[in-house]
């Protein structure tokens, strides 16, 4: 097997629960995804007969017209969001065999799996709060197995204005942390978005925070137990990013609950892990 990681990268991931791999994906893997997004935005614009002029496609402006589309009606953005995770080139990238290789290099004796319902393309719109992720570990939101990896990769260059994701390196060592299942300060948030880490301020203050400024093609590998949160987009453009999630069939907790999925699969986390839920 051709190795993808050096020994020092494997060790950095063990220590931090986080690893940035610049230029992991090729332009030829990303361009068809960006082209399809451009076309889907066009189909929605045409469907609602909106008068939104668009520049011809390029990788740098694949979302041209999207800000005007959601200004016209925010629900049109929801149609695009649901559609883009079904782009064949995106699903091909989800199943890139190099994801299994990475898993095998980062975890001894793993049998990697793709988390159904655990992949998608986030569109974090400027000055929008409803779909921002609070501080969280991936496990309660996804389940499947305690041992899992998020593969996070941007489709636009990430700048400080776009609100990069913030991570607490080393926080995976806390193990699975308890959550509250409703967020009284954000009543509009639902499902996984409503989970609040119990003792959030205490846990996040124990660790440094990093917010990598990545570019299209770069990959951020995230341990399912590392604390992280969405930044706040104060830019002019939506922050488009891809998420692929893999888990490990061999991990005992996941195996014992039958590799159940969480909210995106209609499962209430409280029924699987009552001991990790704090009563409100």
Interface residues toward ligand AKG, by CB under 6 A:
122, 124, 133, 138, 150, 152, 165, 228, 230, 241, 243
| Residue with smaller CB distance to Fe ion, 138 or 223 | 138
| Residue with smaller CB distance to Fe ion, 67 or 209 | 209
CB of 228 to Fe ion, least distance (A): 6
Which segments of the chain does DSSP mark as H helices, in order? 7-16, 27-47, 66-72, 74-84, 88-94, 97-106, 138-142, 200-205, 252-256, 269-272
Residue 66 three-state SS: helix
189 interface partner picked from ligand AKG, Fe ion, none, CB below 5 to 8 A per type? none
CB of 45 to ligand AKG, least distance (A): 25
Residue nearest to ligand AKG (CB): 230
With 0-12 CB in 10 A as exposed, 13-18 as middle and 19+ as buried, what is 220?
buried
| Residue with smaller CB distance to ligand AKG, 105 or 124 | 124
CB of 24 to ligand AKG, least distance (A): 15
Instruction: Count Cα atoms within 13 angstroms, Cβ side, for 17.
Output: 24
Q: Cα(first)–Cα(last) distance of the chain, in Å?
A: 50
| Count of chain residues binding Fe ion (CB under 5 A) | 1
241 interface partner picked from ligand AKG, Fe ion, none, CB below 5 to 8 A per type? ligand AKG
125 interface partner picked from Fe ion, ligand AKG, none, CB below 5 to 8 A per type? none
DSSP H/E element including 228: strand 228-229
DSSP letter string, 89-132 = HHHHHHT-HHHHHHHHHHSTT--EEE-TT--EEEEE-TT--TTP
| Residue with smaller CB distance to ligand AKG, 125 or 243 | 243
Instruction: Count Cα atoms within 13 angstroms, Cβ side, for 237.
Output: 16
- CA neighbor of 21 nearest in space, from 98, 89, 85: 98
| Residue with smaller CB distance to ligand AKG, 65 or 148 | 148
Q: Which stretch binds Fe ion (CB under 5 A): 51-59, 135-143, 194-202, 259-267?
A: 135-143
Q: Name the residues that contact Fe ion, by CB under 5 A.
A: 138
């Amino acid at each position: 097997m051709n190795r993808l990681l050096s020994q020092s990268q494997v060790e950095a991931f063990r220590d931090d629960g986080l690893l940035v791999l610049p230029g992991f994906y090729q332009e030829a893997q990303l361009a068809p995804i960006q082209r399809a997004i451009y076309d889907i935005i066009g189909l929605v614009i045409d469907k609602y007969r909106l008068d939104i002029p668009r520049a011809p496609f390029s990788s740098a402006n694949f979302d041209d017209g999207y800000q005007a589309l959601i200004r016209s009606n925010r629900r049109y953005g929801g149609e695009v969001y649901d559609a883009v995770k079904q782009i064949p080139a995106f699903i091909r990238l989800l199943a890139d065999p190099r994801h299994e290789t990475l898993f095998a290099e980062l975890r001894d004796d793993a049998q990697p799996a793709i988390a159904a319902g655990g992949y998608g393309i986030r569109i974090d719109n400027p000055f929008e709060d409803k779909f921002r992720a609070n501080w969280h570990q991936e496990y309660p939101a996804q389940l499947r197995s305690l041992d899992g990896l998020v593969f996070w990769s941007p489709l636009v260059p990430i700048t400080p204005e776009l609100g990069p994701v913030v991570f607490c390196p080393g926080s995976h060592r806390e193990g699975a942390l308890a959550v509250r299942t409703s967020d009284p300060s954000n009543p509009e948030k639902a499902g996984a978005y409503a989970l609040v880490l119990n003792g959030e301020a205490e846990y996040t203050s124990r660790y440094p925070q990093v917010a990598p400024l990545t570019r299209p093609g770069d990959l951020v590998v995230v341990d399912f137990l590392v604390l992280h949160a969405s930044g706040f987009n104060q830019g002019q453009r939506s922050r488009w990013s891809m998420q692929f999630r893999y888990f490990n069939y061999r991990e005992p907790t996941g195996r014992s609950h039958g590799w159940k999925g969480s909210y995106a699969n209609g499962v209430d986390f409280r029924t699987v892990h009552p001991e990790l839920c704090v009563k409100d």
